[in-house]
Homo-oligomer: A and B are copies of this chain.
Amino acid sequence: MYSPTTRLLTILELLQSHRQLSGSQLASRLEISPRSIRRYIVMLQDMGIPIEAERGPDGAYYLGRGVKLPPLMINNQEASALVLGLLVLQAFHFPVELVAIEGALAKLERVMPEALLEQVRALQAALSFNVVASPTTLQPSIVARLSLAVHKCQSLSMRYMSLSGTESTRLFDAYGIVYYQGFWYAVGFCHTRRDLRTFRLDRISELQATDHTFDQPEGFDPIQHVHNAFATMPGQYPVEILLETSMSHVQQVLPPAAGSFEATPAGILWRREVADLWPTALLLLKFDFPVIIRQPPELRTIMQQLAAKALRLSEE
């Protein structure tokens, strides 16, 4: 704590680990005059470090937000947490700039004490994450803009290429972003299709926030919806099924995203649209309450086929 430079760093460190400190506190810790502390504060500010001050009694200096990040003073524990975090991001193909992850990793690993690095590497080698490798890469900037739009409830205009390869522009209210089996998806309401939809992020080519805002539906669970969306890709068959049970039971068994539910005297009328009827058919077999198929007739045919298949399986 002798040279001016170390003093400067010490002040920075003190301000980083304490919420706020008064000039006299700093002065006594560094054993220099308060006047010099004020001078150091100015020096730090000149360096772009946003030190702010509260005046008056109980006034103090504290770190504010700037445009640039000040040098971070971290201890060993924190460093290993940081490295581990970065490694996890890498393993999960998190939508963050790779350069950023690698840059931060390089900086940290280059200066970490040997013993610490060994510990972290051991953890890294020993831990197995249950991760499906993602075959595609996606642009972090898209994810960043998307998440901001989710946060601010801004509708989005985007260009999307469907799995079949056709590209289209859609107006979309994003409710959440979900990682599911190696891919990242945006879940929300598609104005073009007027339905809840799931879009794979790596198939979005353009994304633009609009002025239009929307209301986030209460209690919507993006994960649930993605799970469900995989069983029920939206499409051309209008399905109408009468569930002879209570609404509360339905809500336990089916996610809100599964379609619309209407209470009728005969039971709960469940409506949705699907391209593939098979998942719905299987779903119906799962239920432990009586079910009546209203629409479409094709679903009855599929049920017959399922019955035949089940019978065949039971005999062989």
Chain B residues whose CB sits within 8 angstroms of the CB of A274 once the complex forms: none
Within 8 A of B (CB), among A262-314: 278, 281-282, 284-286, 291-293, 300-304, 306-311, 313-314
Of A103, A311, A314, most buried by chain B (CB within 10 Å of CB) is A314
Judge if A211 is at the interface, Cβ distance under 8 Å. no
Assess whether B88 is in contact with A47, with CB atoms less than 8 Å apart. no
**Interface residue from B70, B87, B303 paired with A314 (Cβ < 8 Å):** B303
**Interface residue from B66, B71, B107, B176 paired with A126 (Cβ < 8 Å):** B176
Chain B residues whose CB sits within 8 angstroms of the CB of A221 once the complex forms: 128
Once bound together, how far apart are the Cα atoms of A301 and B233, in whole Å? Answer: 31
Stretch at the interface among A26-34, A139-147, A189-197: A139-147
Assess whether B293 is in contact with A303, with CB atoms less than 8 Å apart. no
Assess whether B144 is in contact with A5, with CB atoms less than 8 Å apart. no
Chain B residues whose CB sits within 8 angstroms of the CB of A163 once the complex forms: none
Assess whether A130 is in contact with B47, with CB atoms less than 8 Å apart. no
CB distance from A39 to the nearest CB of B (A): 10
Chain B residues whose CB sits within 8 angstroms of the CB of A67 once the complex forms: 113
Stretch at the interface among A53-61, A93-101, A164-172: A93-101
Chain B residues whose CB sits within 8 angstroms of the CB of A66 once the complex forms: 111, 113
**A122-B150, A125-B151, A316-B293 known; A78-B94 Cβ under 8 A:** no
**A97-B81, A130-B180 known; A69-B112 Cβ under 8 A:** yes
Nearest-neighbor residue (CB-CB) of A109 within chain B:
B65
How many chain-A residues does the 8 Å CB contact rule pick out? 109
Judge if A161 is at the interface, Cβ distance under 8 Å. no
Assess whether B65 is in contact with A6, with CB atoms less than 8 Å apart. no
Chain A residues within CB distance 8 Å of chain B: 3-6, 8-9, 12-13, 16-17, 43, 46-47, 50, 63-82, 84-89, 92, 94, 96-97, 99-101, 103-104, 107-108, 110-114, 117-119, 121-123, 125-130, 143-144, 146-148, 150-152, 174, 176-180, 221-223, 278, 281-282, 284-286, 291-293, 300-304, 306-311, 313-316
- The 10 nearest A-B residue pairs measured at CB: A85-B85, A71-B71, A122-B151, A303-B314, A307-B310, A77-B100, A126-B150, A126-B147, A78-B104, A81-B100
Since A70-B111, A307-B308 are in contact, a sample of 5 more A-B pairs with Cβ atoms closer than 8 Å, ordered by chain A residue number, is A5-B9, A69-B74, A123-B177, A126-B176, A127-B147
